Structure 1
Amino acid sequence: MRFFLFLISLSLFSSPILSAQEVTPLWPEGKIPNSKGLTLKHIEERERITQVSSPNMLSFFPPKEEQNGSSILILPSGGYHHLTYNLGGIQLAKWFNTQGITAFVLLYRLPTSPDLIISENGPIQDTQRALKLIRLNAEKWHLDVNKVGVFGASAGGHLASTIATHDDDLSKINDNLDSYKFKPNFMILVSPVISLGDYTHKGSLGNFLGEHATSENIHEYSNEFHVTKNTPPTILFHAQNDPTVNPMNSLLFYEQMMKHEVKGSLHIFPKGKHNIGIYNASSLTDEWKTICTKWLKEINIIK
């Protein structure tokens, strides 16, 4: 199938989404998997999307002379209840652009959507499809297919780590993207939800699994149990005093990385609560961006 990149409609003129250079729909019309076929409205308030009418990907390109071939897919946070797409997406994309990295912000279906047949599969399918689309368009966008990463904070971190640790391809719809790789080459996790067990963020658990929150599914999506030697290099940032997502989530994931010899780095800041992001009041916490850049250079994602 051919995918058309189109400029954002003037009806979004008052929205920060307009700052994206391109918008790419994830699925051909009428072929969205795991859908009941309902017509949904786009619901948004205070730069928080609570219902996605059509999943898509916002593209942010650095100047051509600064582009280094690496790219990253940003999964906005919001506890699987909403997408904080501006502060937790667009502003991060602009920062990645300053590092020469092409960035994409994913507006994925939330598991609370009434249109989904299997609620938890929706965000997984959209993320897998987005990573395939990036690789499909790599030549046109001047990207290296082996330098495609994923960024996730809070519940976005759970989604990112799910994609990186689970092998089942739920995004196949019998088109030319079926054969493309969806696994990221590297991963950046900030205050991530990893476990759905003892240390979970209950809101994320409830929204993600809902009535499917069986012991089997809780184990299946507690991603510390699914780290293998094939898990991509990962850097984690967390605050010790995070009252929302227990830092044990990051520690559990990193412990398994160590056991399976996965390249990576873990940084626990003494302060920062659940506010580690593009703008931070604490100068120490704000160092996460500097550390992140140096780590990306160390693993040869950027030069």
Structure 2
Amino acid sequence: MASTLATHAEGELCPAFQILFYPVITMKKEYTHTSSQQNLLGANPTQETIDTYCNELQVTATTPPAFIMLSGDDDVVPAQNSFNYYLSLLKHKVPAEMHVYPSGGHGWGYLDSFKFKKQWIFELEEWLRNLE
């Protein structure tokens, strides 16, 4: 949802930045999170709808800066969601930072048990301080 807002909103509705935890970015069959796709687009979306909500395809030079976090061992949302989005942001010269933690799976968010919690908090705080 956050990347959809960042790539589809215009004017005053567009956020100043985006912070994405293990995001679902694409609706392409090979990389999407199937449940998310069905929840967002319905059971039988048209190809046009799928393309519209492949947010890596919707990035422009006006897309807000992004901070992306994921785990390399996430078996719920394929890492390609984040990788392809990050590459699209760079292609359009949108400031972006991506952190891939070696373990943690999916859904670690604010869990104190997440091995890299202090690290991601520090990295995010630094990124926010340096936003232009």
Give the TM-score, by structure 1 length.
0.41
Are the aligned partners of 1:196 and 1:205 in contact in 2 as well (CA < 8 Å)?
A: yes
Query: Which structure carries more relative contact order (alpha carbon 8 Å, separation 6+)?
Result: 2
Q: CA deviation at 1:244?
A: 0.6
Question: Which consecutive residues of structure 1, in runs of 5 or more, have no partner in the other structure?
Answer: 1-158, 169-179
Q: CA deviation at 1:248?
A: 1.0
3-state SS of paired residue (1:237): strand
Are the aligned partners of 2:26 and 2:53 in contact in 1 as well (CA < 8 Å)?
A: yes
Paired with 2:97 and 2:76, the residues of 1 have a C-alpha distance of 22
3-state SS of paired residue (1:232): coil
Alpha-carbon RMSD across the aligned residues, in angstroms, is 1.6
Alignment deviations for residues 115-172 of structure 1 (CA, whole Å, 9 cap, x no partner): xxxxxxxxxxxxxxxxxxxxxxxxxxxxxxxxxxxxxxxxxxxx1111111146xxxx
3-state SS of paired residue (2:42): helix
Are the aligned partners of 1:224 and 1:253 in contact in 2 as well (CA < 8 Å)?
A: yes
Paired with 1:273 and 1:286, the residues of 2 have a C-alpha distance of 17
Paired with 2:112 and 2:45, the residues of 1 have a C-alpha distance of 35
Same amino acid, percent of matched pairs: 36
Match of 2:24 in 1: 193
Amino acid of the structure 1 residue aligned with 2:8: H
Amino acid of the structure 1 residue aligned with 2:116: L
Match of 1:279 in 2: 111
User: CA 1:286 to 1:247, structure 2 compared with 1: closer, same or farther past 3 Å?
Assistant: farther
Kindly report structure 1 stretches of 4+ aligned residues shifted beyond 3 Å. Answer: none
Give the TM-score, by structure 2 length.
0.92
- The 5 A counterparts of 1:171-182 are 181-182=12-13
Match of 2:57 in 1: 225
Match of 1:202 in 2: 34
- The 5 A counterparts of 1:10-25 are none
Q: CA deviation at 1:275?
A: 2.5
User: CA 1:249 to 1:286, structure 2 compared with 1: closer, same or farther past 3 Å?
Assistant: farther
Q: CA deviation at 1:212?
A: 4.8
Question: Which consecutive residues of structure 2, in runs of 5 or more, have no partner in the other structure?
Answer: none
Are the aligned partners of 1:276 and 1:286 in contact in 2 as well (CA < 8 Å)?
A: no
**How many residues matched?**
131
Larger proportion of helix = 2
Are the aligned partners of 1:254 and 1:266 in contact in 2 as well (CA < 8 Å)?
A: yes
Bigger radius of gyration: 1
User: CA 1:260 to 1:281, structure 2 compared with 1: closer, same or farther past 3 Å?
Assistant: same
Match of 2:7 in 1: 165
Paired with 2:118 and 2:46, the residues of 1 have a C-alpha distance of 38
Match of 1:248 in 2: 80
User: CA 1:271 to 1:247, structure 2 compared with 1: closer, same or farther past 3 Å?
Assistant: same
Amino acid of the structure 1 residue aligned with 2:56: E
- The 5 A counterparts of 1:1-303 are 159-167=1-9, 181-197=12-28, 198-300=30-132
Paired with 1:280 and 1:272, the residues of 2 have a C-alpha distance of 12
Alignment deviations for residues 29-81 of structure 1 (CA, whole Å, 9 cap, x no partner): xxxxxxxxxxxxxxxxxxxxxxxxxxxxxxxxxxxxxxxxxxxxxxxxxxxxx
Larger proportion of strand = 1
Are the aligned partners of 1:279 and 1:286 in contact in 2 as well (CA < 8 Å)?
A: no
